[in-house]
Amino acid sequence: MPSTSPIPEPAADRDAGAPRYARVAADLRRRIAEGDVAVGARLPSEAALAAEYGVTRSVVRGALAQLARQSLVVSRPRGGWVVQPRHRTQGFDRMLSFAQWAVDGGRVPGGAITSRERRPATAREAQLLRIRWQEPLIAFTRVRTLDGRRVMVERSTWAPWLTPVIEALPDDVVSTAEALAAEGIHITSGTHRIEAVAASTEDAALLGVRRSSPLLQVTRITTTREGRIVELGVDRYLSGAIAFEVAAGESQRTLV
């Protein structure tokens, strides 16, 4: 990262009342925008930045917190502060799997199934999947990656009629949608519920973040073109990993 002299006092007609942390944040934002710090690169330590800008470490922390709120940088456990890629948005105007969306955006999707289970359906699952209560079904947990970075925990519960196909999937399957399509099963529609949640102990371990870190949860129900239920899914994304676009129009709002 190129060296920078301590931030000069602003001109009287420009940001004269701006806190020092805001001025440090503005300069770091400029350097990121101009490519002085590459996406994925780690910023200097708080102590190094404090010395570089001639401010205290608390001022640097304030600046970094502001950049984090703007999704420009992210703090990684034992990894310091890292510059984030620009948000890649996903819309709901067409049905795309995680892998399809990533490839369309020039990213490399990946993943690994970390656990599988056969168990009886709960009353809620039976209602949503339109099956009998306690009918056997299969579920798995998978960690999804973008360009090798863990960004999402995917928990999927599959309709019983898909059990043979799902059981045959390798742990490193990149796209379940493509695997299903190869069997003549095409997912064409779905409903989504989006909400903010705190990372559970399992989420934290799988994503490499602190427990209670903010995550974006997307709850899904996917169906075939014939209207047959395929999957009940709960995806939990790292903060800053993805943004969703929803077109304005007729919509339904649910109080929680």
How much of the chain exceeds pLDDT 70, in percent?
A: 81
Question: pLDDT tens digit string along 124-162?
Answer: 999 999 999 999 999 999 999 988 889 999 999 999 999
Q: What is the pLDDT of residue 56?
A: 93
CATH code of the domain in which 238 resides: 3.40.1410.10
Instruction: With H, G, I as helix, E, B as strand and everything else as coil, classify residue 255.
Output: coil
List 146's β-bridge partners, or say none. Answer: 109, 149
User: 75 and 93 share a domain?
Assistant: no
Q: What is the pLDDT of residue 87?
A: 52
Better pLDDT: 50 or 254: 50
Residue 254 lies in a domain: no
User: 72 and 95 share a domain?
Assistant: no
Decide which of 37, 68, 83 is a domain's last residue: 83
Q: What is the pLDDT of residue 40?
A: 76
Residue 252 lies in a domain: no
Q: How far apart are CA 193 and CA 244, in angstroms?
A: 11
User: 153 and 215 share a domain?
Assistant: yes
Expressed as residue numbers, the domain containing 42 is 20-83
Answer whether 160's CB lies under 8 Å from 137's CB: yes
| Of 165, 215, 213, 175, the residue nearest 195 (C-alpha) | 215
Q: What is the pLDDT of residue 67?
A: 85
CA dihedral over 154, 194, 211, 64, signed as positive or negative: positive
Q: What is the pLDDT of residue 9?
A: 41
Q: What is the pLDDT of residue 1?
A: 53
Residue 118 lies in a domain: yes
Residue 72 lies in a domain: yes
Q: Is the pLDDT of residue 12 over 50?
A: no
Mean per-residue pLDDT, 28-56: 87
Question: pLDDT tens digit string along 86-114?
Answer: 555 454 444 567 888 777 777 789 999 99
User: 151 and 233 share a domain?
Assistant: yes
User: 74 and 34 share a domain?
Assistant: yes
Q: What is the pLDDT of residue 93?
A: 45
Q: Average pLDDT over the chain, rounded to whole?
A: 82
Decide which of 39, 68, 83 is a domain's last residue: 83
Q: Would strands 214-224 and 187-198 be described as parallel, antiparallel, or unpaired? A: antiparallel
User: 191 and 238 share a domain?
Assistant: yes
pTM score > 0.85 for this model? no
DSSP string, 230-250: EEEEEEEEETTS-EEE--SSS
Q: Is the pLDDT of residue 71 over 80?
A: no
* Exposure string over 1-14, b if 16+ CB within 10 A, otherwise e: eeeeeebeeeeeee
End-to-end CA distance of the chain: 46
Question: pLDDT tens digit string along 194-236?
Answer: 888 999 999 999 999 999 999 989 998 999 988 899 999 999 9
User: 64 and 155 share a domain?
Assistant: no
Counted domains in the chain: 2
Decide which of 83, 103, 119 is a domain's last residue: 83
Question: pLDDT tens digit string along 163-189?
Answer: 999 999 999 999 998 999 999 998 887
Q: What is the pLDDT of residue 106?
A: 74
Most confident among 18-22, 51-55, 75-79 (mean pLDDT): 51-55
* DSSP state at residue 21: H
User: 218 and 111 share a domain?
Assistant: yes
Instruction: With H, G, I as helix, E, B as strand and everything else as coil, classify residue 27.
Output: helix
User: 186 and 59 share a domain?
Assistant: no
- Reported confidence tier of residue 244, pLDDT bands at 50, 70, 90: low
User: 120 and 152 share a domain?
Assistant: yes
How much of the chain exceeds pLDDT 90, in percent?
A: 47
User: 182 and 66 share a domain?
Assistant: no
User: 155 and 239 share a domain?
Assistant: yes
CATH code of the domain in which 53 resides: 1.10.10.10
Residue 151 lies in a domain: yes
Residue 9 lies in a domain: no
Residue 174 lies in a domain: yes
Tokens encoding 248: 């304005």
Q: What is the pLDDT of residue 246?
A: 53
Q: What is the pLDDT of residue 88?
A: 52
Better pLDDT: 79 or 51: 51
* Exposure string over 202-220, b if 16+ CB within 10 A, otherwise e: ebbebbebeeebebbbbeb
Residue 184 lies in a domain: yes
